[in-house]
């Protein structure tokens, strides 16, 4: 849905029909998403009755309908970085790796974003040999092209220029950021001043599908009342990531995208299901870890202040080949598989993200206020006042405003 509008731009020769597997454990919300986007949706059970020229899948874990048309599997994330439970067995499997049953048909192709991924897949599934196509990563290209507009995205999200936007990114599963520490968003909002920081949460679609938005909002109730921005998983998460000044994340693809975009990264969790030798594993060895028991503000400020440009360039090079050319490569692959002449001109428009709508949020109405008074270099008293959302505060005393100053020849003044 993100790539096809550009790939099939102005080509009336190609008709597109969408389908989704209703038996998937994470199918909740898919049908509504397709219908809201105006897609023509066909029941999965009817796929055997049509004769398509190409099947394009965002999942490797599908049962192919009968026929001999080619199948192209696109990765839903960065490469093949994670071991996940196998719904067909009691074992784990490499996420994104096409099972042998699909490969045996001789009609399946796998799009990869880096040449090394073919070797990784071969180690897990020898039948992959000759079935990979180096495309690159259209999502990363779009994120990269949008970086010059980061400030305007930040403003569109309702975050003023004088505030830092920090993204909290969580993949799914018990070793994810929210799986390990669901209270982290509220603590971050309680410890970092509201007038200096805003936080946006990007949560993996599997979490939304498995638990539902009601459960997510119930678990994050204090954080949401304290001003946490909860980003849509459809499109808005990308704008938030581009706009962010730092990412506090885990071993999910969003964290890796953030690092590859040059963002400072703190790892609040990192599961052992991350695959050794991958770009994600390299990020786990490079990025600093967040300690949940130490001062969160100090850790976030330090990772931003101490960040070195290009720190994650080697990690990025392990994940993304041919940056900026993924859409053009993917369009060539699609038309070759359909045995259809590629449209002319062959140049594709440079895609950048649209301005996001302000996310759903709760206005903060109650505050914990801290103030401090000290003389400046000229001997004048300066009062510093910081506000923290009371909903997220672990201790909220009714008498939270304390003002003390020593008498001197100068009167206190506000700053």
Maximum distance among all alpha carbons in the chain? Answer: 90
Distance (Å, rounded) from C-alpha 371 to C-alpha 404? 9
Give the pairing type, strands 132-134 and 55-57: unpaired
Q: Please report the pLDDT score of residue 101 as a whole number.
A: 78
Q: Please report the pLDDT score of residue 396 as a whole number.
A: 38
| Successive 10-residue mean pLDDT values, the chain, 415 residues | 88 92 81 91 86 89 81 90 79 82 87 92 87 94 95 95 97 95 96 96 93 94 95 90 98 97 98 90 96 95 95 95 92 96 80 80 86 90 92 53 33 37
**Count of other CB atoms within 10 angstroms of residue 364:** 17
Q: Please report the pLDDT score of residue 168 as a whole number.
A: 98
Tell me if residue 397 falls in helix, strand or coil: coil
The token duo for 156 is 């569109």
Q: Is the four-CA dihedral 18, 21, 25, 31 of positive or negative sign?
A: positive
Q: Please report the pLDDT score of residue 291 as a whole number.
A: 96
The token duo for 311 is 């720190």
- Specify whether the CB–CB gap between 256 and 78 falls below 8 A: yes
Distance (Å, rounded) from C-alpha 354 to C-alpha 357? 9
CA-closest candidate to residue 348, choices 333, 363, 336, 331:
331
pTM for this structure? 0.90
Share of the chain residues as helix, strand and coil, in percent rounded to the nearest 5? 35, 15, 50
């Amino acid at each position: 849905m993100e790539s096809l509008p550009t790939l099939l731009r102005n080509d009336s020769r190609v008709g597109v029909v969408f389908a989704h597997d209703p038996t998937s454990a994470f199918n909740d919300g898919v049908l509504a998403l397709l219908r809201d986007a105006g897609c023509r949706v066909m029941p999965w059970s009817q796929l055997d009755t049509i004769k398509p020229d190409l099947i394009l899948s965002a999942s490797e874990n599908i049962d192919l309908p009968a026929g001999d048309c080619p199948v192209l599997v696109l990765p839903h994330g960065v490469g093949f970085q994670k071991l996940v439970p196998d719904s067909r067995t009691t074992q784990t499997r490499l996420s994104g790796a096409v099972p042998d049953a699909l490969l045996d048909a001789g009609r399946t192709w796998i799009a990869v974003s880096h040449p090394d991924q073919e070797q990784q897949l071969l180690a897990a599934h020898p039948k992959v040999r000759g079935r990979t196509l180096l495309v690159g990563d259209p999502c990363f290209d779009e994120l990269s092209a949008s970086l010059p507009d980061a400030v305007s995205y930040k403003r569109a999200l309702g975050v003023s220029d004088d505030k830092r936007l920090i993204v909290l990114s969580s993949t799914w599963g018990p070793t994810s950021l929210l799986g390990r520490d669901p209270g982290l968003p509220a603590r971050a909002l309680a410890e970092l001043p509201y007038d200096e920081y805003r936080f946006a949460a990007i949560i993996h679609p599997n979490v939304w599908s498995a638990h539902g938005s009601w459960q997510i909002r119930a678990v994050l109730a204090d954080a949401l009342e304290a001003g946490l921005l909860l980003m849509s998983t459809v499109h808005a998460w990308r704008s938030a990531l581009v706009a962010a000044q730092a990412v506090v994340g885990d071993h999910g693809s969003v964290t890796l995208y953030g690092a590859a975009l040059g963002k400072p990264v703190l790892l609040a969790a990192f599961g052992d299901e991350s695959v050794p030798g991958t770009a994600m594993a390299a990020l786990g060895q490079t990025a600093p870890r967040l300690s949940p028991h130490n001062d969160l503000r100090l850790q976030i400020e330090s990772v931003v202040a101490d960040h070195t440009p290009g720190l994650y360039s080697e990690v990025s090079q392990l994940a993304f080949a041919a940056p900026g050319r993924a859409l053009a490569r993917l369009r060539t692959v699609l038309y070759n598989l359909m045995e259809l002449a590629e449209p002319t001109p062959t140049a594709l428009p440079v895609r950048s993200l649209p301005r996001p709508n302000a996310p759903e949020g709760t206005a903060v109405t109650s505050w914990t206020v801290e103030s401090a008074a000290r003389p400046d270099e000229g001997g004048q008293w300066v009062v510093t006042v910081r506000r923290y959302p009371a909903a997220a505060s672990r201790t909220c005393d009714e008498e939270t405003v304390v003002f003390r100053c020593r008498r001197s020849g100068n009167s206190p003044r506000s700053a």
